[in-house]
Structure 1
């Protein structure tokens, strides 16, 4: 039995960021993931400059042999009407492929790893968590996404009581002919909102790679909505007629509607396992990174791993992302006044699609990059 101070289940951006942040803390961690890396990951795949800054990524190094698509414009519209295109005058985000991005982050860590290793059993003994009867630690961190096995141990766990957003997407490398005729441009992702504003679809080109998908809060209609969208985009020449591969699905929780507890005795959740995706856009990468860094500060300072000690992490999350409100409308948090007939007019407005939809909802430009030091409001209590 190998003993550690903590075991992190899930080696995606949240898990690998936490592992790296703890490398100089004196805490001995183990990273476990059911898949080998690099691995496919269902995700539209873009990161904002704040993520690049927070992770201290050298873009020249990252772009050497990996897909790095600068984004300068967005095309936004309601399905069935003309899109509005906005030029932001510079690079406001970067398109990445998750198979490359996640592998890059994981490779930067020196933390011991057990990849291609599903969690088959979790038991509690003498204040420690035993994983697969092979590794033990007093702290278990869930970083394995919505269905992470650790989530079953915290609060009510995943289940029918949760309002889950379901998405399907496909990413493939276009042939030369497909790339030549595809109307979608690499520096201009396209966002198409469903008419009822309960979800949106996207067409995102990254060089010769094309990512197409749709996410909605009512997954029983997801396939039909997706099929209608793809057919419309194919007719417009923005998506090739013959798609290579198959659509893959995933699920996640929006922050304002996720009721998951974040901590318990010897347990802590980060990233999508904690239900931290931004409510307006469904983006999970930035919340995953920031939750991991906040968790690292709390873990490194904690006197023990009781729920009382770890609650500082839950408080830091609330300070950073806001307090969850149980009385908010379920699903994508589009304000009620936008769901009214006014939405059609707003979605044709350059000002609204740029200042509200893109810069506020999707890029979160008004929120500065996370800084983790004693004066950070979200962490002051940790250092007191």
Structure 2
């Protein structure tokens, strides 16, 4: 039995960031993932400058070897009506391919890794966690996404009781003809909101790669919404014909709707395993990175791995992302006055025509939808004492 001070389950952005942040701490860490890297990851695939700053990534070095699509504009609309295009006059975000980005982050850490290793068993014995009857640790960190096996050990665990966002996405390299005829531009992602505002679709070009997807909280009609969106965009010339392959699905929790405990004795959850995706956009990369940095700070300083000692992490998450609370009609009405900041979901009585009118506004689509919901420009990059 190999003993470690800490085992991280999940080697995506959250897990690899935590492992990197703990280098030099004197702690013996093991990073486990069921996949072999590089691996495909269902995700629209863009990151803000705040993420690249928090990760201390040299943009020129990254772009020299990997896909880094500068984003200067956004094209935003409600399905069934014309889109509004806003030029920010500078680079406000970057398109990345998750297969490259995740592998890059993982390659930067010297932490021992066990990849292509599914978690078959987690047992508790004498204050330690035994993983696959092979590795032992007093502290187990769940960083394995929505269905992370460590999350199964906290609260009620992942299940039908949770209100999830379900998404389907495809990313592929276009042929020369597809690239020539596709009207989507690399520096201008397209966001198309469902008319009931329970989700949105996107078209995102990164050089010759094209990413198309749709996510909704009302997931029982997800495929129907996606098919209708693809048909409409193809007819309008926004998408090339004959899309290859099948759309891949994934699920995640929005921060306001997640009820998973973040800590317990010897347990801690980060990233999508903790349900930290932004409520307005569903973005999970920045919350994943920041939660990992917050966790590293607490792990370095905690006197032990009791829930009481680890609660400092839960407090830090609440301070950074706010206290979780569901959005009521009263709460939404108040948030409407402040630019829809709480959520893109609205009560039935206000959906139309107000929402469609706002989605035709350059001011609203730029300053609220883009800059506040998707770019979170009002939130300064995270700095912690790691």
- State the TM-score bracket (shorter-chain normalisation): over 0.9
Mapped pair 1:156 → 2:168: no
Q: Per-residue displacement from partner, 1:136-189 (whole Å, max 9, x unpaired)? A: 000000000000000010111111211010000000000000000000000000
- The SS at the match of 1:168 is strand
Q: Does 2:334 correspond to 1:334? A: no
TM-score w.r.t. length of structure 1? 0.95
Aligned: 1:296 with 2:296: yes
Please say if residues 257 and 328 of structure 1, whose CA atoms lie closer than 8 Å, have aligned partners that are also in contact: no
Instruction: Name the residue aligned to 1:61.
Output: 61
Residues in 1 aligned to 2:209 and 2:160: alpha-carbon distance in whole angstroms: 36
Contact 1:182–1:237 (8 Å) recurs in 2: yes
Query: Residue deviations 1:289-337, cap 9 Å, x none?
Result: 0000000000010110000000000000000000001464799922647
Matches within 5 A, 1:158-177: 158-177=158-177
- SS of structure 1 residue aligned to 2:19: helix
Q: Find the counterpart in structure 2 of residue 377 from structure 1.
A: none
Give 2:377's aligned residue. Answer: 365
Deviations 1:32-70 (Å, cap 9, x if unpaired)? 000000000000000000001000000111112211100
CA RMSD after TM alignment: 1.5
Could you tell me how far 1:240 is from its partner in structure 2?
1.1
Counterpart for residue 381 of structure 1: none
Tell me whether 53-62 or 336-345 shows the greater mean CA deviation. Answer: 336-345
CA distance in 2: counterparts of 1:370 and 1:193, whole angstroms: 29
Task: Note the 1:83-232 alignment, pairs <5 A.
Answer: 83-232=83-232
In structure 2, C-alpha distance between the alignment counterparts of 1:204 and 1:327, rounded to whole Å: 29
User: Residue in 2 aligned with 1:353?
Assistant: 365
Q: 2:91 & 2:209 partners in 1: Cα distance?
A: 19
Task: Determine helix, strand or coil for the equivalent of 1:159.
Answer: coil
| CA displacement at 1:238 relative to structure 2 | 1.1
How far is the alpha carbon of 1:340 from its aligned partner? Answer: 4.1
The 1:328–1:4 alpha-carbon spacing in structure 2 relative to 1, beyond 3 Å, is farther
TM-score scaled by structure 2? 0.95
Contact residue 256 and residue 328 of structure 1 kept, 8 A: no
Distance of 1:154 and 1:86 partners within structure 2: 43
- SS of corresponding position for 1:64: helix
Deviation digits for residues 233-259 of structure 1 (CA, Å, limit 9, x no counterpart): 101111111112210000000001101
Residue 185 of structure 1 contacts residue 205 of structure 1 at CA under 8 Å; is this kept in 2?
Answer: yes
**Is 1:285–2:285 an aligned residue pair?**
yes
Partners of 1:321 and 1:335 lie apart in 2 by 19
**Separation (CA, whole Å) in 2 of partners of 1:14 and 1:360:** 23
Structure 2 CA distance for partners of 1:23 and 1:328, relative to 1, 3 Å? farther
8 A Cα contact 2:197 2:346, kept in partner: no
Q: Which moved more, 1:233-242 or 1:219-228?
A: 233-242
What SS is found at the alignment partner of 2:364? helix
**In the aligned structure 2, how far is the partner of 1:241 from the partner of 1:327?**
40
| Aligned: 1:251 with 2:247 | no
